[in-house]
A and B are shown apart, each in its own frame.
Chain A
């Protein structure tokens, strides 16, 4: 019986060590007067590194704005995407502003206090392609996507987005020959090699595609422009409801006074926050 008690105690200690105590993150942020924000700097225009070695992008600006609303200083760290999505941050950083889709699986490791914008998911083909005229023509073709992205889930037809106000969508591409890549941009890199060389199409976020086109990628978007709308959320470590409420409040106020729309206009050339 004693052994059982100890096992229980050990279990409880292990559990408490893995998630933030209620109010703990908030106390840390307010105590240090500093909000440490994780962002993956490999995704322009959301987050990337400029010629002066500074972090720039939509997510970076949103992170700064949230810190400002909370009355604290913003500091950025750049752990790899896998490390961010693994959860159990151990207080290394307080929140992730990384255009993360709140999926059911991720919700097991992280909290998603608030959705801050939506991006359309679009299909692209090489400029020279003449067989895929609408997205449904891509059925059975070689399509490149980032690994464990919502785009891969969509093609596998098991996409479950765990957020409110997500517009309805339907699966219009059947039996895709899915090719997964370490990042979405690598799929575009393979697509640019030529029509059908390695890929017939790639499937990713519209902003990523537009940025690639701006940088001379010979690719064109196939309609409809949005196969589904992807909600993108702020993420925090599990368990601090007070901190989450504070973030939600800050984002709501950024929504209300148009700051968020303005940041969206600046980076995406359109308002994706509604």
Chain B
């Protein structure tokens, strides 16, 4: 493997890789109407080599920058490439602009939220409910009561073991069979809370178990009761460990909330699909929705890292 350490070898690999990817594009069309001695196929091949060389050149150039600049330049370049990819679809920007307010949910639908605002609302409530559910399930899982353990493992097993889409449909279509008729939005919130509560219960359990037994013993020796040990000693330490995987779950939930569009709740995905269908501008709306979901996820990430810092105060992360 040492041979890979050598810059010339790495660059050759990069060149070959870029060339192979470019092979799937047909550049000869670009030169169809030009009157050159080499012919369109030859020119297309040359262009391919030139682009592959540019990729390698860019790689060498960016590597000379300081670390932070490298990071920023790479992001900008990838984002530009990404945008060029969408640009090449020949999208109707007026259409996106005209329908964007509906996707974002600026305005009301039957006096309630819609679009991205509704997505955020559904997630916010589901985050709150699933956190409580997860904590209860994790504590039940760790308790000495066989019944509590039974309930909690049954719940976790079922909701982790079945697809979310199926749970959404079961709750929406199934509950009326026992006389409980709920609207799409509450059904969505219940399904997301139950499903993510089950996943997070396992994260919480792992976090609680990761706190050394000595902490618990010391707290008890100081005369704290069981509840106090959990509340004052174990949980504050466990939270630090729980936050990163929990943040992950919330981001996943944000995107999974798109599944409730099957019930006809006017959330972001539903708006994207229907507005896309209205004038056969499906790509336009899907891409817009993708960017909105992405922006929301980034917000979640920022919030997560803030909270992480807050609870990591007492710990020097670089030494753990």
Contact = CB atoms under 8 A, between A and B. Distances in A.
Contact of B264 (A44, A77, A88): A77
B280 A211 contact: yes
Contacts, number: 70
A8 B264 CA distance: 36
Contact of B98 (A41, A51, A78, A189): A51
Interface stretch (A66-74, A79-87, A123-131): A79-87
Interface string B161-199: 000000001001100111101011000000000000000
A49 interface: yes
Interface size range on B against A: 20 to 34
B72 interface: no
A185 interface: yes
B177 A49 contact: no
Nearest to A43: B277
Contact of A50 (B179, B278, B282): B278
A14 B98 CA distance: 48
Given A79-B264, A185-B277, A217-B280, A17 B107 contact: no
A11 interface: no
B263 interface: yes
Contacts of B240: none
A44 B277 contact: yes
B160 interface: no
Contact of A82 (B262, B281, B282): B262
A48 interface: yes
A11 to B, nearest CB: 13
B261 interface: yes
Contact of A49 (B176, B261, B274): B274
Given A17-B177, A42-B277, A80 B263 contact: yes
B279 interface: yes
A128 B278 CA distance: 26
Contacts of A48: 274, 277-278
A21 B281 CA distance: 43
Contact of B280 (A41, A86, A88, A212): A212
A91 B181 CA distance: 9
Contacts of B281: 215
A18 interface: yes
B264 A78 contact: yes
Interface string B99-133: 10010000101000010000000000000000000
A14 B176 CA distance: 11
B176 A88 contact: yes
Interface string A190-219: 000000000000000000000110011100
A79 B264 CA distance: 4
Contacts of B176: 88, 90, 92
Contacts of A80: 261-264
A88 B263 contact: no
A97 to B, nearest CB: 15
Main secondary structure on chain A at its contact with chain B?
loop
Given A51-B99, A80-B262, A82-B262, A44 B177 contact: no
A53 interface: yes
Nearest to A48: B278
Interface residues of A, number: 30
A180 to B, nearest CB: 18
Contacts of B293: none
Contacts of B114: 53
Contacts of B98: 51
Given A44-B278, A49-B274, A83 B177 contact: no
A83 B184 CA distance: 11
A110 to B, nearest CB: 14
B262 A83 contact: yes
B255 interface: no
A34 B301 CA distance: 45
A134 B278 CA distance: 30
Nearest to A81: B262
Q: Which of B99, B172, B273, B274 has the most CB of A within 10 A?
A: B274
Interface in A17-64: 17-18, 41-44, 48-51, 53
B177 A185 contact: no
Given A44-B278, A79-B264, A215-B279, A53 B102 contact: yes
Contacts of A53: 102, 107, 109, 114
What are the 7 A-B residue pairs with the smallest beta carbon separation, nearest first? Answer: A90-B176, A215-B280, A79-B264, A78-B264, A80-B262, A48-B278, A42-B277
15 contacts: A14-B177, A17-B177, A44-B280, A48-B274, A53-B102, A53-B109, A53-B114, A80-B261, A80-B262, A80-B264, A88-B173, A88-B177, A92-B183, A212-B280, A217-B280
Given A77-B264, A83-B262, A185-B277, 13 more contacts: A14-B177, A18-B177, A41-B274, A42-B273, A44-B277, A44-B280, A53-B114, A80-B263, A80-B264, A90-B176, A92-B176, A92-B181, A216-B280
Interface of A: 14, 17-18, 41-44, 48-51, 53, 77-80, 82-83, 86, 88, 90-92, 185, 189, 211-212, 215-217
